[in-house]
Amino acid sequence: MSGGIILDHIVKTFPDRDSPVHAVQDVSLRIGEGEIYGIVGFSGAGKSTLVRCINLLERPTSGRVLIDKVELTALRPQALKAERRKIGMIFQQFNLFATRTVFENVAFPLKHTGLSKAQIAQKVTSLLKYVELENKASAYPSQLSGGQKQRVAIARALATDPKILLCDEATSALDPITTSSILKLLKKLNQETGITIVVITHQMQVVKELCHKVAVMEHGKVVEEGDVFDIFAWPKHPVTRNFVASAGNVEEEAAAAPADLNDRYLRLKYIGDSANDAVISQISRRFDADISILSGSIETIDGKSLGQLNVRVNADAGRLTAILDYLKDLRIEAEVIGGAGSAD
Amino acid sequence: MQDLLTEWFPYVMKKPEQFLQSIGETLTMTLWAGSLMFVLGLILGIILTMTREQGILANKAVYQVLDKVINLFRSIPFVILIAVLMNLTKFIMGTRIGVKGVIVPLVVGSAPFFARQVEAALCGVDAGLVEAAKAMGVGHLGIIIRVYLREGTAALARGTTITIINLIGLTAMAGYVGAGGLGDYAITSGYNYNRMDIVWASVIAIVAIVTTVQAIGALIAKKSTH
């Protein structure tokens, strides 16, 4: 890979009187040009620090940051300022200038760039049009809703025509509907301009709706990384499973101790149409087991569909093993998530 | 009107030019010392804010030294400060008496307080805005002018108002070095001769000046808040 973002063995330690805080511990990532890359983790996982290492708002304690082959960590302050103009950033709290109008906020990064007043005005107007706020140009941030503020912030971040957009919990302060509209805007932006987007979030919905690839962070380390679809379909690390487990109520039911000792709770996953209700009745007939469907869903993630079925099977240990083997032959992933006979 | 004033303020009206001159002296001292204090205090306040631990130019040594010096000057009573600075005043202004002689002590006496006001105002600017500007590739000077000073204007206006009102209070002691002013007029021409109308006239004039300063400050603060 030639361009894109390369994080090479990034370490960030904050000195502290008692014990230093190891915010990022040896993280290496490659983010390709034009990708939408998600970094998820619970708060304190180090994801915000990591994203600030990309534009050197936080200088890594050790490690290198390369953007389009330019090593940012080796640049002098003046050159770094120029590189930063190629990286836009938006924030959870929007960070708009309260004393400036929407127009002036978007024009802010264009000062001292050599553009004339007329060119700046034209640029700002077209950016505001793109984020559908051209009628709010003379409003102040305090007069806008959260979603509108974030749109202004996006327009401002795009003013210098960056090749990369960093989003630090950009939708975490917004309601679900506004979140969706911001995500659509970011997606459109990526498709139309090919801008690379790095998204920091703790909301799995954001990753699902927006990202192509995702890295999961815990305690300053990346514990799992890959295509979003794979991560959703086959999460490996416990933290990832935690994030993906949206159908958590099945676990709750399983944990609430089934009356029948032979009750097992299974989660079946399949891609596209490789399985459906017919499988359930087949298993039921073939293995003489009672199966009830508790919940099911088909989700579209990054353009591919992932089916998920949560079922309760009444079968003894021998028959359960046979059922699991049968499912494996059908390329359906089955996970025992609870019940009397389950190992965990 | 003339009769009424003569009836209420007999001694003031006997020599009205003396009253007007005192007002002029107070305004002159406030204006000169205030302008210099504003520039000096602003610079010191900016240095304090930028060099503190979370500042964009964090520098523990500079901050600590400046912090202590400011505290030192703030703790010296103004009357003593006039005496302490006598030689410095003579060196800078060429005289240690009159309006000229009191400007240096007034600036030194009020600038440290104003520096603290500036520090408080600038620290109130959201760190997120500074971070956003940094991310846009704005340099240190740009961040100070376009983010800190611009976004902190309302708080700066309020801090300036408080400091100038304090300064007007200090000018009342200018009589010690023969600089005149309303304070001197009230004591030496009024109080000492038990001519209370002169004391009251001085109070009214000072209240009018303070109210005007307050109103201007409030207007600027309001205009820069959206």
A123-166: pLDDT as tens digits: 999 999 999 999 999 999 999 999 999 999 999 999 999 999 99
A66 exposure class (CB count in 10 Å sphere: 0-12, 13-18, 19+): middle
Q: Name the residue in chain A with its Cα closest to that of B150.
A: A99
Which helix (H) or strand (E) segment is B139 a member of?
none
**Number of domain units in chain A:** 2
CATH architecture of B17-223: Orthogonal Bundle (1.10)
Domain that holds residue A261: 245-339
pLDDT in tens, chain A (344 residues): 446 899 999 999 998 878 888 999 999 999 999 999 999 998 888 999 999 999 999 999 999 999 998 999 999 999 999 999 999 999 999 999 999 999 999 999 999 888 999 999 999 999 999 999 999 999 999 999 999 999 999 999 999 999 999 999 999 989 988 999 999 999 999 999 999 999 999 888 889 889 999 999 999 999 999 999 888 888 888 888 888 775 344 555 555 545 566 778 888 888 766 555 577 778 888 888 888 777 777 777 777 778 878 888 888 888 888 888 888 888 788 888 766 544 44
Whether residues A124 and A65 share a domain: the answer is yes
ipTM for this prediction: 0.87
Q: List Cα–Cα distances, B170 to A101, A118, B78, B79, B100, in angstroms.
A: 40, 51, 7, 9, 15
Hey, are the CB atoms on B132 and A95 less than 8 Å from each other?
yes
Does residue A240 belong to any structural domain of this protein?
no
CB-based contacts of A29: which residues, under 8 Å, 6+ apart?
A5, A6, A7, A37, A215, A222, A225
Here the CATH number for the domain that contains residue A144 is 3.40.50.300
Do residues A274 and A145 both lie within one domain? no
Does A212 lie in the same domain as A75?
yes
Q: What is the DSSP string of B36-58?
A: HHHHHHHHHHHHHHHHSTTSTT-
Cross-chain residue pair B129–A85, CB shorter than 8 Å? no
DSSP summary character for residue B189:
I
Q: Which of B138, B139, B226 sits opposite A140 (nearest CB)?
A: B226
Residues 82-101 of A with CB under 8 A from B: 82-85, 87-89, 91, 93, 95, 97-100
Q: Report helix, strand or coil for B163.
A: helix
| Residues A154 and A302 placed together within one structural domain of the fold | no
Confirm or reject contact between A76 and chain B (CB < 8 A): no
Any idea where the domains of chain B sit in the sequence?
17-223
pTM score, two decimals? 0.82
- Residues A260, A223 share a domain: no
Three-state secondary-structure class, residue B162:
helix
Q: A99 and A191 in one domain?
A: yes
- Is there a single domain that holds both residue A220 and residue A263? no
